[in-house]
Amino acid sequence: MTIDDAPRDALRGGPRELLRWVATGAAVSRADLSRLSGLSPSTVSQRVEALISQGLLEEAGAGRSRGGRRPRQLAVPTGGAVVGAIDLGAHHARVGALDLSGRVVQARTLPVRIEDGPEAVLGALLAEVATLVGSDPAAGGGSAPGALRGVGIGIPGPVQHSTGRIVSPSRMPGWNGFDVAAFCAGRVDVPVVVDNDANLMALGAHRTAHSELDHAVYIKAGTGIGSGVISSGRLHRGAQGSAGDISHCRVVADPAPPCTCGNAGCLEAVASGAALVTALREQGVPVSDLTGVIRLIDDGDRQATALARQAGRAVGEILAVVVNFFNPQVVAIGGRLADCEPLLASMRATLYERCLPLATQTLLIERVAAGQDVGITGAAHLVIDHVVAAA
């Protein structure tokens, strides 16, 4: 099985929307679904029966009666570790088993050497997914064979959406052109969906914190830097899957540092965690990784703080263009640099300075709140959407 081919479910009351209303508690009965969707009771019933037969919905006891027969309550089956998720980073991967509501049942962080290449890295992570799903404590220490419904994978680089192939990633030697979906399909017997890590962070954050908002931009600032866009309530990927990839947008920087893409002055070369490590080393500060940089910033180190402010301004400059162009309701920043106060403060100031008043009047600027599981949560929702659409 290959990648999700973005099945359309834009019509009000599509199976995915029905499931989401139940999952979020907006609906507990067929009557609620009929009212919310505007669909006839018989159409809703038909769709609900299909979802129940696929194991995606269940009936849970009796609801409140308005006279006559008590309506049966609908629920999304929770507790089962049935969706596998991998959020791959430059040095670590978060791997999880989640239930059909997108709740994390089990998860752990593993060290990763991305330079070991895709076969070794993905092979090990898929094995870990199988272990987590198989050791679900809710299933008495072992989920039933075949319980796994799908695996979602986030990659820290550009992913061509139609094929699941990685295209010209920075800092991922040996991964260019690799067909993640085909490789994984040869190793697991369930659908595998692949997307870039910023898109999965956006999906996870939107579903958990902002599902009532239609237009949102999520910045992922870690070793690399990228963004994911929610438009009209849906993840916006564009024609090929590169929508939201702000890493090689040019910012004002003098001197303009060289970028891995061959240009100079890219956002990634100025404001990413990797760029901060490089810049500090060039100033003679012996720092080995992003953790070291964050520690220096937290300690109020003058050089590190100045670089963080410069990075925040650069992110703010690009984000101002995005906000003016797209007019989101919320901009949220996640990733390891999101807790870096000087970066956030200068990003916010630049954003207000450069945006149209109408665009920022009611704009929420926040940190992504969902923590380290936001990526695997997004990956799980991608799988759930795919399974529902296929059903």
With respect to Zn ion, which residue has the nearer C-beta, 21 or 175? Answer: 175
Nearer to Zn ion, 266 or 294 (CB): 266
- The distance of closest approach from Cβ of residue 328 to Zn ion in the complex, given in angstroms and rounded to an integer, is 24
Smallest distance from the beta carbon of 345 to Zn ion, in angstroms?
A: 26
Q: How far is the CB of 158 from Zn ion (least distance, A)?
A: 12
Cβ 33 to Zn ion, closest distance in Å?
47
Q: Which one, 54 or 242, has the nearer CB to Zn ion?
A: 242
Region 122-181 residues binding Zn ion, contact defined as CB under 5 A? none
Smallest gap, in angstroms, from Cβ of residue 291 to Zn ion? 24
Q: Which is nearer to Zn ion, 151 or 259 (CB)?
A: 259
CA distance 343 to 308: 5
DSSP one-letter string for 240-299? TS-TT--TT-B---SS--B-TTS-BSBHHHHHSHHHHHHHHHHTT----SHHHHHHHHHT
Site for Zn ion in 221-250 (CB under 5 A): 248
Give the residue among 220, 248, 252 at the shortest CA–CA distance from 331. Answer: 220
What's the closest the beta carbon of residue 308 comes to Zn ion, in angstroms? 20
Looking only at residues 178 through 197 of this chain, which bind Zn ion when binding is defined by CB under 5 A?
none
Nearer to Zn ion, 243 or 249 (CB): 249
Q: CA-based angle 172:175:179, to the nearest 5?
A: 145
User: Would you say 331 and 362 are in contact if contact means Cβ atoms under 8 Å apart?
Assistant: no
Residue with smaller CB distance to Zn ion, 92 or 250: 250
Closest separation in Å from C-beta 272 to Zn ion: 10
The residue among 244 and 375 lying less far from Zn ion, judged by its C-beta, is 244
Shortest Å distance, C-beta 257 to Zn ion: 10
Q: Spell out the alpha helix ranges (H) of the chain.
A: 15-23, 30-37, 41-53, 118-134, 180-185, 197-209, 267-271, 273-282, 290-298, 302-326, 341-354, 357-360, 374-390
Strand partners, 264: 258
- Interaction of residue 259 with Zn ion, rule CB under 5 A: yes
Q: Please identify which residue in 62, 127, 261, 356 interacts with Zn ion, judged by CB under 5 A.
A: 261
Residue 313 near residue 346 (C-beta atoms within 8 A) = yes
Pair 83, 383: CB distance under 8 Å: yes
Interface with Zn ion by CB under 5 A: which range of 28-36, 200-208, 266-274, 304-312? Answer: 266-274
DSSP single-letter state for residue 104: E
DSSP string covering 327-380, please? --SEEEEESGGGG-HHHHHHHHHHHHHHS-HHHHSS-EEEE--SGGGHHHHHHH
Binding characters for Zn ion, 13-52, by CB under 5 A (x = yes): ----------------------------------------
Q: C-beta of 171: minimal distance to Zn ion in Å?
A: 12
Listed residue (285, 24, 38) closest to 14, CA to CA: 38
**Measured from the CB of residue 84, what is the shortest distance to Zn ion in angstroms?**
33
Using the rule CB under 5 A, give the single segment among 107-115, 118-126, 183-191, 262-270 that binds Zn ion.
Answer: 262-270
CA atoms within 13 A on the CB side of 114: 18
261 vs 356, beta carbon nearer Zn ion: 261
> Of the two residues 262 and 284, which places its CB atom closer to Zn ion in the complex?
262
Q: Which is nearer to Zn ion, 220 or 248 (CB)?
A: 248
Count the residues of the shown chain that bind Zn ion, applying the rule CB under 5 A: 5
| C-alpha count within 13 angstroms, C-beta hemisphere, residue 103 | 10
Which helix (H) or strand (E) covers residue 228, if one does? strand 225-231
| Binding-site ranges for Zn ion (CB under 5 A) | 248, 259, 261, 263, 266
